[in-house]
Amino acid sequence: MNTGDTAWVLASSALVLLMTPGLAFFYAGMVRRKSAGSTLMQAFVTIGLVGIVWVLWGYSLAFSTAESDTLNKVIGGFNFIGLNNVPAAVDNVFSDTIPHQAFMIFQAMFAIITPALILGAFAERIKFSAYLVFVVLWVTIVYAPVAHWVWGGGWLNDLGALDYAGGTVVHINAGVAALAAAWLVFGKRVGHGTESMLPHNVPFVVLGAGLLWFGWFGFNAGSALAADESAVSAFVVTNTAAAAAMLAWLAIEWLHRGKPTVVGGASGAVAGLVAITPAAGFVGPMPSILIGLAAGVACYWAVAGVAKLRVDDSLAVFGVHGVGGMVGAILTGLLVGVGVTIPGFANEVSVMEQIVNQLVAVGATIVWSFVLTSAILLGLKHTIGVRVSEEDEETGLDITQHGEEAYA
């Protein structure tokens, strides 16, 4: 065991965990006052739910070996159920320098934040009970297989699609799920388009974005699974892309709307963090600026476009995470190896072939997430119900779902 690598991965796991409370503040600041507490609760409870699901069966489905080679291309098996065969020691399954449980808990933090991202699509209108069931089903049926495809030895890994830290697994997966939820299942909030639905607490938004930015260093640089040059490079490009995207978003917003907003700056930074995620270990600083600029522009117009279509993706999950993930995934194929030495990596295909591989990964994730998320939510809609009553929505989810107010 390498103690430096182990310490870095454990510290990175803690950084990634902090991102979910950061997301809670980011989202809670953007909703109306009467549902701020419920939004915080939905994000926070995801830590508890997925923290248990991952140990019991989620990690096994994502990272163990299935019974047959054919099945193993799609989903993992049951070798790691309840963390059976997952020791707190090095066993060379995914790393020869860190304990297996260190890798497991690092991946747990990714699994926790991904469904929490989706809640921005149906903010202020989902039943808390339905949210709990949705998270368990979504992590099991949607997230775990995609994680296996990319990182657990599945078919996208065999194809050669590149995703350093979760462009497809986390961001496209969650972004497309959000679009399915907002468009097909939940519909608009009561009063959408006629009442003001501006963020009730802009300082919360900035606090949340800052915590996300801070935690993202663990998200991306921790994915090196070692305290080495790859981690350093991923750390540098993560910050650089976020900075570039923030400036690009603000510039476009200033030109388009006449004023650069605080929420716009925070959203732009998150868009850059999303886009650099799949590329973090594969590109140098100069390409990361291009990725950040592209994400800032593309995500700004995607958010505006979704609003024009009158889809009430309340907190712009698809526009920022879905589109940002797609931009990053495709540009990873175009820019891989530019400005950086990638230890132990030999890309033996042409740029065009790599872009095709990236497009296949993006397309497969879109279809999988959209179809299965829709099926899960429609199933819940016609059984336990997913949306609160109109009266409860107008009162606010803080009181109707939790019996308390965020601001007494």
Residue 103 in tokens: 């890798």
For the segment 151-166, what is each residue's pLDDT rounded down to a tens digit? 999 999 999 999 999 9
Tell me the C-alpha to C-alpha distance, in Å, between residue 404 and each of 30, 34, 356, 400, 407. Answer: 19, 10, 51, 8, 9
Q: Give the separation between CA 122 and CA 197, rounded to whole angstroms.
A: 14
What's the DSSP call for residue 126?
Answer: B
For the segment 249-258, what is each residue's pLDDT rounded down to a tens digit? 999 999 999 9
Instruction: Confirm if 186 and 311 have CB atoms less than 8 A apart.
Output: no
Predicted local distance difference test score (pLDDT) of residue 282: 97
Query: Please, how many CA atoms are within 13 Å of residue 210, restricted to the half-sphere of its CB?
Result: 8
How many C-beta neighbours within 10 Å does residue 263 have?
A: 18
Total count of domains within the chain: 1
Give CA torsion, residues 354, 281, 150, 63, to 10 deg: 160
Tell me if 407 is assigned to some domain.
no
The number of residues making up the chain comes to: 408
Tell me if 384 is assigned to some domain.
yes
Q: How confident is the model at residue 408 (pLDDT cuts 50, 70, 90)?
A: confident
Tell me if 239 is assigned to some domain.
yes
Mean pLDDT of 222-237: 97
Q: Give the separation between CA 391 and CA 381, rounded to whole angstroms.
A: 18
Domain of 323 in residue numbering reads as 3-402
Q: Give the separation between CA 83 and CA 127, rounded to whole angstroms.
A: 32
- Point out which residues pair with 126 in neighbouring strands: 387
Chain mean pLDDT for the chain: 97
Tell me if 94 is assigned to some domain.
yes
For the segment 301-328, what is each residue's pLDDT rounded down to a tens digit? 999 999 999 999 999 999 999 999 999 9
Q: Which residue has the tokens 């019974």?
A: 67
Predicted local distance difference test score (pLDDT) of residue 347: 78
pLDDT of 245 strictly over 90: yes
Tell me if 66 is assigned to some domain.
yes
CATH number at residue 96: 1.10.3430.10
Instruction: Confirm if 331 and 290 have CB atoms less than 8 A apart.
Output: yes
Tell me if 408 is assigned to some domain.
no
Predicted local distance difference test score (pLDDT) of residue 16: 98
For the segment 377-397, what is each residue's pLDDT rounded down to a tens digit? 999 999 999 999 999 999 999
Tell me if 290 is assigned to some domain.
yes
Tell me if 151 is assigned to some domain.
yes
Mean pLDDT of 222-245: 97
Q: What's the pTM?
A: 0.97
